[in-house]
Structure 1
Amino acid sequence: MKYLLGMDLGTSSLKIVLYDEKFKEIQRVSEAYEMNQPHNGWAEQNPEDWITALDKGVKKILEQSMVNPKDIISIGLTGQMHSLVMLDEKNKVIRPAILWCDQRTSLECEEITEVLGREFLINETANPALPGFTLSKLIWVKKNEPENYKRCRHILLPKDYLRLYLTGEYATDVSDASGMQMLNVKGRTWSIELMEKLDLDPGILPKVYESIEVTGRIQQHITTKLGLDKETLVVAGAGDNAAAAVGCGVVKDKMAFTTIGTSGVVFAHTSKFKIDKKGRVHTFCAAVPGTWHVMGVTQAAGLSLTWFLENFYKDVSEKVIFEELDDILSKVQIGSDKLIYLPYLMGERTPHLDSKCRGAFIGLSAKHKRENMLRAVIEGVTFSLRDCYSVVSELGIEINTMKITGGGSNNKIWSQMIADNYGCDISSTFKDSGTTLGAAILASVGVGLYDNVEEVCKWAVSFKDDYKPNQRNRGAYDKYYKIYKKLYHDLKQTFVELNSL
């Protein structure tokens, strides 16, 4: 029996899952690490914490599974997108990684747009300049930490820092590279023209591969340290959303998925290159060679829930909360007793492209309890995902199959809420396994175990629950969604004024 490892370097933890060659899950581990916020709107992590998590996780996988390392034929990597890792000439980390959800680079985005022009930027990179993307983070460091910038010889994305550690290779894949805003997304190659116009050195960029291509083997000193075999191949892999698409079987036209992790995403596969000239949704390369995906993003999906539980449910363990979440939500009616939550804790991407907007509870009264607020948080996140779904549909991308994955998909009421708001059938995946399964599928094709991603997904991906929209619920949600959509515009100037204080 041959085995595959899928590794997902998330914002809060590294998940490593061992699969057999038929994609049966053999062993799973998760190693947590911290996100630091030194200033309001900033988000950073120490890349060495990721390496510590990898070391611990791999050792646990090998010890607990008792699988012969020689039988692990390939590793697929995935993880948080956009985050900037800067290395010096000795591959030492120069500064903490600036994460995807960091909002410090609004001015840099304005400068990028001014220098390049919005039309060039969208045509070249398929996206407007946004604080979440890697490009603006790099320019921020160049302006604000010039000594750090001068020392920089390589930049990598989080999963690719793990790759460097494992293989010694500077490499990334087209899906993750798309989110750096330095790639010609239609041509699937680095945009040298963009880099030169911004006075940036293209030499700091890693080699870019298709997601199923092999990028290297395990280094000898890593085999000694961790117990992995030197013949194990590491495949390019994909950004977390592109990998989740594969893990959900979303690899053909008219297929889409929603994921509820730290951020929330509505992701539609397309064989035709499509861009939103308004920049409300992103177009990136997909993990399936020669295809793309259009993606709407809610910045603080699971993050909103985590924030609320940490501050309002300190007396209840996280495990108990998630076990009882359906029961808690079922006791509060749709609309949370006329309470609406705006999930803009880290600004918002789709559809507002506004780094200055912030979260809010609207309609809060003395009668409301924390249970009402909890349901309002989940409804607010769902309304934001509905915004994403609406924009994708507006672009003429037909969707007849919707999957759901991520931690939020384990909750039945939340999943039903999404079906009611989208107005379409959805299916949920098993065990939040979309990203790691997707990475493992890419790894299997990369080493020649199977011929192509599409064929593997036909039998390797399965689902646990199906949800059909309830039209009565839909009508109730529509009334609150109409108010929700109006609130951003009503509060936009207030957000600007607060940000200027």
Structure 2
Amino acid sequence: MAAGRYLIGCDVGTTGTKTLLVDEQGHVLARSLDEYPLLAPRPGWAEQEADDWYRATVQGIRKVVAEAGIRPQDVAGISFSGQMHGSVFLDREGRVIRRPLLWCDVRTADEVRAINETVGRARMIDLAGSPAMEGFTAPKVLWLRRHEPGHFERIATVLLPKDYVRFRLTGERAAEVSDAAGSAMFDIEKGEWSKELLDVVGLRPEQLPPVLRSVDVAGKLTARAAEETGLVPGIPVVAGGADNACGAVGAGVVRSGRAHVSIGSSGVVVSFAPVPSRDPGGRVHTFNHAVPGAWYVMGVMLAAGLSLRWVRDELGQAERAVQEATGIDAYELLTREASRSPAGARGLWFLPYLNGERTPHADPYARGVWFGLSSAHRRADLIRAVLEGVAFGLRDSLEVLQEMGVEVSQLRAIGGGGKSALWRQIQADVLGIPLARLNVDEGPAYGAALIAGAGVGVWSDVAEAADAVVKVNETIEPDPQRSATYEASYRIFRELYRVLRPVFEEAASLSS
């Protein structure tokens, strides 16, 4: 391959690190996924070894450079996306004090209550863009202070997961604005750590690293890191962003009016926001964007793709057998069957609350429900109801954004749910907004690579980078007749939660 400038984007995720090598035109030349375990020492706890993140990153970089066949000295920059909210506690020597607590760790219910009551829920939303929640960093810090005071006293620096990996590559302790925003210790409007919030959890300002813009160069590859990755010393390492911010960049959500809807295990609706709009009810999150001087507003549902995965694992034995025999994806077979059911699934609804729900209900007790079952229903109806129920859950987030006055004129579909033609059409019909399919769907690692390019001057800024390489291939228009059907179905979907809410908590006590 001819010499040129190449970019590496790494997404330090929950199940593994995805690494991409991208050229100056935004073409992905190589990719790698290097996995690591999720540790659960007790129910509700979720931890990982920070060294696993670093090893996976090193392996991924080596693999993509070798696969692409480029010269190591032609890598112009590296940047990172990362799982949000995790806590990496470092001592003065830069050693990890104890295994990091992850975003999906829910041991901190008492600490969340203490923070929200001490600061005040409205004040938390004003400062941090969201109330404190179990997954966020601040409650983890307070938990450590209360339950492991010896470890707490040793803290020299608190880092977020991808910032730790970048620290290992550069030797520089730094944070960046989009990930810091999800810590519940950050003032999203001022763009700095909040002394008021740090006081609540017992941290001093010097225990938090300097906050950079996502496009700032945070450091350069050290000689040791160069040897481990197979690269050359001195390569710029750009600060990067939180996974949702990088996902937005990778989907071109870098200008007003644009939003993306993503169905992975969870589901998110993320909209660009030129100003830090906040929901007074705290139903959605407002965080700083990887685009300097901008924000994004995000609604989250907990079991989007996970709902269909549950159907595949528990009810799709035949489809899994066909996949093993022929290689045809079991999800494709399930959605083919769902297509035989009409819009509205013949009067069947599915509430996608398998693990509780975040937006708009913030209800850990909510559970999944099929409602309206009769002897006339067939398996195709059950599957279609799941696809529609997830789309209704995503509409809940979109409705909050619209109530807030956040402009959403185009939705871009990414994630596994965006790969199904039927599910894309259902989303467009339920949401009532044209749904764009993109030329690239590589997730947050791709956004990180574009941020690396903006940081080292391949593009002038993040918005230019995204506009240059992310293109709309297809637009799925809502069908007026099906949208009218879904409008009536959605009203019943909302009413079902309202009626069942008091029952969910009572039922949870019986199943515990």
Smaller-chain TM-score range? over 0.9
How far apart in 2 are the matches of 1:244 and 1:16?
14
Task: Report what 1:79 is aligned to.
Answer: 82
Q: Is the CA contact 2:440–2:470 (under 8 Å) kept in the aligned structure 1?
A: no
Cα 1:307/1:381, change in 2 over 3 Å? same
- 1:99 and 2:102 aligned: yes
Q: What secondary structure sits across from 1:98 in the alignment?
A: coil
Q: Is the CA contact 1:280–1:391 (under 8 Å) kept in the aligned structure 2?
A: yes
Cα 1:459/1:335, change in 2 over 3 Å? same
- 1:129 and 2:129 aligned: no
Task: Report what 1:295 is aligned to.
Answer: 298
How far apart in 2 are the matches of 1:242 and 1:14?
17
- 1:46 and 2:49 aligned: yes
Deviates further, 223-232 or 306-315: 306-315
Task: Report what 1:422 is aligned to.
Answer: 431
Cα 1:203/1:492, change in 2 over 3 Å? farther
Deviation, structure 1 residue 368: 5.8
Number of residue pairs matched?
Answer: 501
Deviation, structure 1 residue 473: 1.5
Task: Report what 1:155 is aligned to.
Answer: 158
Deviation, structure 1 residue 323: 4.1
How far apart in 2 are the matches of 1:153 and 1:345?
39
Task: Report what 1:497 is aligned to.
Answer: 506
Deviation, structure 1 residue 209: 0.7
1:384 to 393, 400, 412: 393
Q: What secondary structure sits across from 1:355 in the alignment?
A: coil
2:143 to 136, 140, 143: 140
Deviation, structure 1 residue 41: 4.2
Deviates further, 120-129 or 365-374: 365-374
Q: Is the CA contact 1:130–1:353 (under 8 Å) kept in the aligned structure 2?
A: no
Q: What secondary structure sits across from 2:408 in the alignment?
A: coil
How far apart in 1 are the matches of 2:317 and 2:150?
42
Letter of the aligned partner of 1:202 in structure 2?
Answer: P
1:276 to 266, 279, 297: 279
Per-residue CA deviations over 1:278-329 (Å, capped at 9, x if unaligned) read 1111111111111111111112222333344333335615962144344233
- 1:213 and 2:216 aligned: yes
Letter of the aligned partner of 1:474 in structure 2?
Answer: S
Deviation, structure 1 residue 352: 1.0
Cα 1:35/1:266, change in 2 over 3 Å? same
2:199 to 175, 196, 199: 196
Task: Report what 2:479 is aligned to.
Answer: 470
Q: Is the CA contact 2:141–2:201 (under 8 Å) kept in the aligned structure 1?
A: no
Per-residue CA deviations over 1:40-68 (Å, capped at 9, x if unaligned) read 54433333332332232222112211111
2:469 to 448, 455, 460: 460
How far apart in 1 are the matches of 2:299 and 2:478?
21
Deviation, structure 1 residue 188: 0.4
Per-residue CA deviations over 1:389-418 (Å, capped at 9, x if unaligned) read 010011112222221212221111111111
How far apart in 2 are the matches of 1:137 and 1:494?
30
2:417 to 385, 408, 431: 408
- TM-score, with structure 1 as normaliser: 0.93
Deviates further, 336-345 or 458-467: 336-345
1:487 to 462, 487, 496: 496
How far apart in 2 are the matches of 1:96 and 1:364?
46
Cα 1:398/1:325, change in 2 over 3 Å? same
- 1:118 and 2:127 aligned: no
Unaligned runs of 5+ in 1: none
Alignment of 1:63-74 (within 5 A): 63-74=66-77
How far apart in 2 are the matches of 1:243 and 1:157?
15
Q: Is the CA contact 1:409–1:432 (under 8 Å) kept in the aligned structure 2?
A: no
Q: What secondary structure sits across from 2:126 in the alignment?
A: helix
Cα 1:205/1:263, change in 2 over 3 Å? farther
Deviates further, 221-230 or 314-323: 314-323
Q: Is the CA contact 2:335–2:384 (under 8 Å) kept in the aligned structure 1?
A: no
Deviation, structure 1 residue 363: 4.1
Letter of the aligned partner of 1:420 in structure 2?
Answer: D
How far apart in 1 are the matches of 2:381 and 2:35?
30
Q: What secondary structure sits across from 2:79 in the alignment?
A: strand
Letter of the aligned partner of 1:361 in structure 2?
Answer: W
Deviation, structure 1 residue 36: 4.1
Letter of the aligned partner of 1:207 in structure 2?
Answer: P
Letter of the aligned partner of 1:439 in structure 2?
Answer: A
Per-residue CA deviations over 1:86-127 (Å, capped at 9, x if unaligned) read 334444444443322333323222111111112221211121
Q: Is the CA contact 1:410–1:432 (under 8 Å) kept in the aligned structure 2?
A: no
Q: What secondary structure sits across from 2:76 in the alignment?
A: strand
Q: What secondary structure sits across from 2:424 in the alignment?
A: helix
Letter of the aligned partner of 1:435 in structure 2?
Answer: P
Alignment of 1:147-186 (within 5 A): 147-186=150-189
Q: What secondary structure sits across from 1:305 in the alignment?
A: helix
Q: Is the CA contact 1:102–1:346 (under 8 Å) kept in the aligned structure 2?
A: no
Alignment of 1:230-269 (within 5 A): 230-269=233-272
How far apart in 1 are the matches of 2:335 and 2:440?
17
Q: Is the CA contact 2:453–2:465 (under 8 Å) kept in the aligned structure 1?
A: no
Deviates further, 374-383 or 211-220: 374-383
Cα 1:389/1:63, change in 2 over 3 Å? same
Deviates further, 79-88 or 12-21: 79-88
Q: Is the CA contact 1:404–1:426 (under 8 Å) kept in the aligned structure 2?
A: yes
Task: Report what 1:351 is aligned to.
Answer: 360
Unaligned runs of 5+ in 2: none
- 1:441 and 2:422 aligned: no
Alignment of 1:356-367 (within 5 A): 356-364=365-373
Q: Is the CA contact 1:257–1:402 (under 8 Å) kept in the aligned structure 2?
A: yes
Deviation, structure 1 residue 157: 1.7
Q: CA RMSD for the aligned pairs?
A: 2.3
Letter of the aligned partner of 1:429 in structure 2?
Answer: L
Cα 1:178/1:432, change in 2 over 3 Å? same
2:341 to 332, 351, 358: 332
Letter of the aligned partner of 1:194 in structure 2?
Answer: L
How far apart in 1 are the matches of 2:442 and 2:316?
27
Q: Is the CA contact 1:115–1:198 (under 8 Å) kept in the aligned structure 2?
A: no
Per-residue CA deviations over 1:193-230 (Å, capped at 9, x if unaligned) read 22113323333322211111000111211211220221
Q: What secondary structure sits across from 1:121 in the alignment?
A: helix
How far apart in 2 are the matches of 1:406 and 1:217?
32
Q: What secondary structure sits across from 2:22 in the alignment?
A: strand
Q: What secondary structure sits across from 1:31 in the alignment?
A: strand
How far apart in 2 are the matches of 1:493 and 1:389?
25
Deviates further, 330-339 or 132-141: 330-339
Deviates further, 377-386 or 489-498: 489-498
1:342 to 345, 351, 370: 351
Cα 1:364/1:219, change in 2 over 3 Å? farther
How far apart in 1 are the matches of 2:10 and 2:392?
31
